[in-house]
Each structure stands twice: as C-alpha cells, then as structure tokens.
Amino acid sequence: MIAAAASHPHTAFRSGCRKNSVQTLVPALVLALAGCASVNAENSVPQMEQGIQIGDPAPGRAVIWSRADRPARMMVEYAFSADFAGSKTVRGPYALEGTDYTARQELTGLPAGRDVYVKVWFEDLTNARSRSEPVTGHFHTIGRRDDIRFVWGGDTAGQGWGINSAFGGMKIYETMRRVKPRFFIHSGDTV
C-alpha cells in the first residue's frame, strides 16, 4: 500500500484536490446564485427615483412626466377624487434609452376648474405584472374664471438665513403655502 501510494503520488493529490474543490465550489456557487437571485428580485421591477412632475397646464389639459430606471411603459391613472373612485387609466408611452427612460403623457378633455388626482407607475416591457410602486400627485385644472394666485421666490436659503433652525427653519415656504397658490415660480438656487 505504501509503495502503491508512493508510485502514484499525483493521483492521490489530484483526487483530493477535486474533492476539496468541489466541496468548496458548490457552496460558493449556491451563495453566488442566491445573491444574484436576491439582487434580481429587488431589481425585477422598474424604479421611479425622480417621482412625477405635472406641468404645462392649459384649459382641459396637463402633462404628466416621469422617468424609469430601464426600458418600461408609463401608466397613468387619474380621477377627480382622492379615493380614485371612477378613475380612468391611460396606457402611456414607452420610456426608452433614446429618451433617457423618460416618458410624458398628456391628459386631455379634463373639466375646467377641477382637482385631478393621478397615480403613475411603469410596467416592465417583458412582463406587465412587473411594475413599479405607484407615485401619486394632484393638480387643479385651469378654469376660465379661476383666480390664479402666483407665488414668486428665489435664493431662499442664501447665506444660511433661510435654513436657520434657531429661527424655525425655512418659514417662508409655510407662508407661501398658506396663500394657496396655483402657480409657483422659483427663481434662483437654494444654496
């Protein structure tokens, strides 16, 4: 036995290596695959990291804009009550690489002078059941006789005065909110 082992030392070494490699490789491979599965599960639905924007209002219309983190289709649900009773869903455009995964949907035929509540989400192009968490928003349509209050501001945090916590923080925004503006122009930065 000793002579046989001595005459074939590489055979014993190689078979031991294979056994140890397989014993080490299989658990490592399982862990790697499990890690990939958890990353893929987390990233299996489109994400909307920039939220939504609502703009370009005109009588009877507004534009809803958002951005996905991958190719996806924008979906917009809208209603005239916060509980979304009687809502309508619009299959929006595709968000593709050529538009940096942004999409915009124009809502038209809206009644004048009404509150509109929206939910926006993105659906994966390969599986419509794979969708982002919805982001909600709210706007008021322009009416022919609406009084529209404008609020204008700029450089609201310059030199630390606007954000002074001893003073109560950025009080100017609460003052602007109480005016109930329909339109806000923010001119300048918030450095």
DSSP 73-120: EEEEEEESSTT-TT-EEEEEEEE-GGGTTEEEEEE-SPPTT-EEEEEE
**pLDDT surpasses 80 at 82:** yes
Answering whether pTM is above 0.85, one says: no
Give the Cβ contact number of residue 146 at 10 Å: 13
pLDDT of residue 162: 63
- Report residue 118: phi and psi, to 5°: -125, 150
Kindly compute the dihedral angle of the four CA atoms of residues 179, 181, 186, 187, in this order, to the nearest 10 degrees: -80
Rounded CA-CA distance 74/95 in Å is 7
- Report residue 137: phi and psi, to 5°: -155, 180
Question: Do 141 and 118 contact (CB within 8 A), yes or no?
Answer: no
Tell me what the mean pLDDT of segment 44-62 comes to.
Answer: 91
Read off the pLDDT of residues 113-155 as tens digits, 9 standing for 90 and up. Answer: 899 999 999 999 999 899 999 999 999 888 777 677 888 887 7
Tell me what the mean pLDDT of segment 157-185 comes to.
Answer: 76
Pick from 44-53, 67-76, 106-115, 156-165: least confident? 156-165
**pLDDT surpasses 50 at 32:** no
CA distances from 25 to 14, 16, 17, 39, 177 (A): 16, 14, 11, 21, 61
Residue among 85, 92, 80, 97 nearest 141 (CA):
80
pLDDT of residue 31: 45
| Bridge partners, 107 (sequence order) | 62
Q: Do β-strands 115-124 and 102-107 pair in parallel, antiparallel, or remain unpaired? A: unpaired
Mean pLDDT of the chain: 78
Rounded CA-CA distance 50/117 in Å is 18
pLDDT of residue 158: 63
Indicate the pLDDT class of residue 190, thresholds 50, 70 and 90.
low
pLDDT of residue 125: 95
